[in-house]
C-alpha cells in the first residue's frame, strides 16, 4: 500500500530516523547555544542524504503541510520542507507555479534561519527565478540591506545561480553592499561567491574587485575569495 503524502506520515518518518548522538554533534556544529546564531534550533540527528531521500518521496506534499514543517523548531523538518520546495520548483515548467513557489519561499523566509537551510535552497529557488526575472533582482537588494542575518545570506548565496550561468554583475553588487557587514557568516558567503566568480566566470573580474575593495573587505571574506589563487597572489592580498 502506498504511503499517504501528508504531514503526519512525513513527520513520523523523520522522527523514526532520529539519532541522539548525531543530534548532539549537530547542535554544537550549528551553534544552537544561548546567544549563538542558531540559538534554540533542535536537531534530531538525520544526515543530509537521509533527508534528501525523504524529500524525494514526499515531493507531492501540499503547501499547507510544507508550511507546518517550516514553522517547526526541528531543524530537519525545515530542511526537508525546503528540499521538497526545491524539487517542486525544478520539476515545474509553469512560470505561474514557479512564482507561487517563490512567493511561498519569501513569505516563510523567517524560518530559513540557519546557513545550511539558506545554502541548499536560495540559489536553486530564489536565485534561479530572479535570473530570468530581470526586475526581480531588486529583491536581492532589499534582502541585502535587511537587518536580519539570514536575509542577507539569502541575498548573497542566491547569486550563485547567476554565477553558474556565467554572470557576475549581481554577485559583485550584492558583495559590495555587504562589505561593511560584521557577521562572519556573511563574510564567508561573500568570499565564497567571489571565489566562484573567479573560478567559473572570469578571473580578471575577481581580481579587479579585490584590487578595488581589498582594504574594506573582512579578513575572512578575503581569505575565502583568494583560496584558488597562487601562493604568491594570496600573500600579496593578505599583506595589504
pLDDT recorded at residue 2: 55
Give, for 149, the enclosing helix (H) or strand (E).
helix 149-158
Q: Establish if 126 belongs to a structural domain.
A: no
Co-location of 1 and 105 in the same domain? yes
Phi, psi of 8 (to 5 degrees): -60, -45
Burial of 20 (0-12, 13-18, 19+ CB in 10 A): exposed
CA atoms within 13 A on the CB side of 11: 13
Out of 121, 154, 182, pick the residue that ends a domain.
121
pLDDT recorded at residue 56: 97
CA atoms within 13 A on the CB side of 138: 2
Co-location of 114 and 211 in the same domain? no
* Alpha carbon distance 14, 159 (integer Å): 31
Residue 220 has pLDDT above 50, yes or no: yes
pLDDT tens across 13-35, in order? 999 999 999 999 999 999 999 99
pLDDT recorded at residue 135: 75
Q: Give the CATH number, domain containing residue 214.
A: 1.25.10.90
Co-location of 164 and 115 in the same domain? no
Co-location of 104 and 144 in the same domain? no
Out of 61, 92, 121, pick the residue that ends a domain.
121
Q: Give the three cell numbers for residue 30.
A: 550549528
Co-location of 99 and 185 in the same domain? no
Q: Establish if 194 belongs to a structural domain.
A: yes
Per the prediction, the chain carries an average pLDDT of 96
pLDDT recorded at residue 227: 96
Co-location of 101 and 175 in the same domain? no
Co-location of 111 and 195 in the same domain? no
pLDDT tens across 126-161, in order? 999 999 987 778 999 999 999 999 999 999 999 999
Q: Which of 14, 38, 15 is nearest to 26 (CA)?
A: 38
The structural domain count of the chain equals 2
Q: Which residues contact 54 (CB under 8 A, 6 or more apart)?
A: 10, 13, 14, 80
Co-location of 5 and 76 in the same domain? yes
pTM for the full predicted model: 0.96
pLDDT recorded at residue 110: 97
Co-location of 214 and 107 in the same domain? no
pLDDT recorded at residue 1: 44
Out of 121, 151, 185, pick the residue that ends a domain.
121
Secondary structure letter of residue 137 according to DSSP: G
Co-location of 78 and 14 in the same domain? yes
Q: Establish if 229 belongs to a structural domain.
A: yes
- Per-residue pLDDT, averaged over 36-50, amounts to 97
Containing structural domain, residue 45: 1-121
pLDDT recorded at residue 239: 86
Amino acid at each position: 500500500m502506498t504511503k499517504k503524502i501528508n504531514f503526519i506520515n512525513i513527520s513520523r518518518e523523520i522522527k523514526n530516523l532520529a539519532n541522539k548522538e548525531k543530534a548532539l554533534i549537530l547542535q554544537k556544529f550549528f551553534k544552537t547555544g544561548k546567544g549563538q546564531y542558531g540559538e534554540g534550533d533542535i536537531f534530531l540527528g538525520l544526515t543530509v542524504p537521509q533527508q534528501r531521500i525523504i524529500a524525494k518521496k514526499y515531493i507531492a506534499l501540499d503547501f499547507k503541510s510544507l508550511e507546518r514543517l517550516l514553522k517547526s523548531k526541528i531543524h530537519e523538518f525545515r530542511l526537508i520542507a525546503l528540499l521538497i520546495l526545491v524539487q517542486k520548483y525544478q520539476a515545474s515548467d509553469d512560470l505561474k507555479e514557479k512564482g507561487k513557489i517563490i512567493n511561498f519561499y519569501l513569505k516563510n523566509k523567517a524560518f530559513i534561519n540557519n546557513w545550511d537551510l539558506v545554502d541548499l535552497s536560495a540559489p536553486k529557488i530564489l536565485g534561479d527565478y530572479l535570473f530570468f526575472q530581470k526586475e526581480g533582482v531588486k529583491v536581492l537588494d532589499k534582502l541585502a540591506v535587511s537587518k536580519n542575518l539570514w536575509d542577507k545570506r539569502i541575498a548573497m548565496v542566491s547569486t550563485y545561480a547567476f554565477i553558474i550561468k556565467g554572470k557576475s554583475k549581481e554577485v559583485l553588487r550584492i558583495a559590495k553592499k555587504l562589505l561593511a557587514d560584521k557577521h562572519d557568516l556573511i563574510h564567508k558567503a561573500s568570499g565564497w561567491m567571489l571565489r566562484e566568480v573567479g573560478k567559473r566566470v572570469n578571473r580578471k573580474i575577481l581580481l579587479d574587485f579585490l584590487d578595488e575593495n581589498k582594504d574594506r573587505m573582512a579578513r575572512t571574506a578575503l581569505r575565502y575569495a583568494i583560496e584558488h589563487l597562487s601562493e604568491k597572489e594570496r600573500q600579496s592580498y593578505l599583506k595589504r
